[in-house]
Structure 1
Amino acid sequence: MRGGRDLALLLGLTLVALPGCGKSTKQPVATIAVITPISHGVTAFGRGIRDSVDLAIREANRRHAVKGWTLRLAVGDDQSTPDIGAAAARRLAADPTVAGVIGTYNSGVASAVVPELDRAALVMISPGNTDPGLSRSGGSRPHADYYRVVTTDAVQGPFGAEYAYRHAGARTVAVVYENKPVSEKLALAFKDRFTADGGKIVDVEAVPAGTTEFSAIVPKIAPLRPDLVFFGGEYPLAGPLAAELHKAGLAAPLMGGDGIFDPKFIELAGPGSDGDLATAVGAPATALPSARRYINDYKVARYREAFSNFGPYAFDAANVLIDALARVLPGRNRIDTAARRAIERAVQQTDKEGITGHIAFDRYGDTVTRELTVYRVSNGVWKQAEIAEFR
């Protein structure tokens, strides 16, 4: 998965031959699929997710983790677009070798992908979805085959709000969000907690999905002189918004969730981005002794893209699935519906230490870990400001 394959990914799916998949092997093949943005959308996250799963599979094949089976990778490029993600899911579900899926990054894509996988009894473990509604709806679990290894915006939004009020000293905030359900939920979760803590929301603005033109809202926000602007959305929009706010003379920092935490945000926002803030799920891999080997192995593998904040979670998600395959597949020679359902049950029983920390799931398929990090831009680089377990 080292570059040069994006054109093929545009056509739908790529199958990747991995160590142990030589011509002479007579072992059955189990395919671990990834659905994530590769050619369009938030590709900085998607490619790191893809390559981290690739790394996990290569390591598993070298140690013969699933006795009697060889693992391979299939990649579906969802382009951060729900319809494209759903089409990739249907193609993967029809492949009798597919044992499970790692993905998606985008919550909106997940809402279209998960029903397709549910119909095929395929488990999906997300390294990046934060929309609470994917796992909980009216107190029930809407998708029995859906799991995630990152916490949700029901935690991330209040975490960011508490930091803004108690640590950044913000008392007035303007809220802007991209007109997508997951972005709105994050923004409103921030708003509700900030006001509960005693802060004041001076403006709330929704912008069209995908826009990078903010001339209609910047003149509204700048004269209000808020202490902080909170943005619900991702870096392709957040960067240009921050640049326009700075150009309008607003010195207040822009804050966002995990969707803006990428060097690309700083590039798009420009030199005025120093002081801007982002929350992110989990702790940074570079701060975790448990992630040192992963970081080194990823570097040695010479992937062309950085692993991003979500690569370590994709690596952990892949290993959760590999552990489940190791318990279910030995003694079988094919992956039928019964095997897929057994794999899902094995995932639910996960209780292990990963490179990102403890991994276990509650009855909704959500991670039991609620650790998050605040980052601040300093001298043109994201730097860790606080790591905390939010309760």
Structure 2
Amino acid sequence: MERRTLLRAAVLGGSSAAFGGTLWRGAAYAAPAQPGSGPYGALGAADANGLALPGGFTGRVVARSGRAVPGTSYTWHNAPDGGACYADGTGWIYVSNSEVDPSGGASALRFSSAGTVTGAYRILSGTRQNCAGGRTPWNTWLSCEEVSLGYVYETDPWGVAAAVRRTAMGRFKHEAAAADPVRRVVYLTEDETNGRFYRFVSAAWGDLSAGTLQVMVAGTATSGSFTWADVPDPDGSPTSTRTQVPGSKSFNGGEGCHYADDRVWFTTKGDNRVWQLDLAAGTYELAYDDSLVTSGSAPLTGVDNITGSSSGDLFVAEDGGTMEICVITPGGVVAPFLRVEGQSGSEITGPAFSPDGTRLYFSSQRGTSGSSSGGITYEVRGPFRA
């Protein structure tokens, strides 16, 4: 607890320490990205776990739904979804949501410095269809309910402090969250065909109990300038938050969200797009759109969860598609990074890097069975570029 208290004090004091444990390079993304040779080369043949990986990378299964996590007595949850990693002394923690309704919630895996699982436990219970979420600079996990009038819950990855419902962050079909320590806001996506993109301006950074929910206001084009407007009634009843502000921009099925280096990226599954906002300039544009691929077939479809590495690469997981995680480089190249084979009835969820950037965690939500009880959580290790 002492280490987390010190980190929290540094963040609240305005520290410019890297968010997520690594420093991001300032890179202007070419947009929209086009297929090309990725930085890691072609995928090899699938291994015994069905993972097709580039040369030099290896994968393993760290947990399976409905089974005890190896080395522990804890039963891993069904339908693993959004996730994040946290430094824990010499090791780390990976948290994962459970997208089932009722009794969703979230669990955590604890790893030693050698990557051995040393513990597994529940960090959130009694909630519904916890899909994605996001980590905060003060090392908590925001778990989001993907249901009508859903809530955001702030949870403790160490499983010590009780989870807290953050009502002020609005009630809608929440998907993902991304914290911006520069502007001291949290960005939020909404999984509706006419969903909106929001930000929550907390009354005091580091405390999400009170603040103002705002929505992005922009034109109908795929690029331009934007502003923010207050949502009059964040409770969303009887009028939904997405319909309260005239001129707020509609997005087709908001999914993953990621912040780094004065930019925020989010995905929309209804039109297979990755959007990017230049927060300093107040502009937005497309980082990727499968309909704008100019040569060959689109390598990335069913866009869903998104995360980033210290090199500035974005890693985007597919819900369906060809069950791949694709990389989008700052130079505007999109290419497969890995593929999960034999699991066409599933989706890839929860990509997150270990604090040192050498391991990528993610899940196949329904595994080979196509059922929420068949979820598989993986680790991929290898020479990720710095």
TM-score between the two structures when normalised by the length of structure 2: 0.29
Q: Which structure has the bigger radius of gyration?
A: 1
More helix per residue: 1 or 2?
Answer: 1
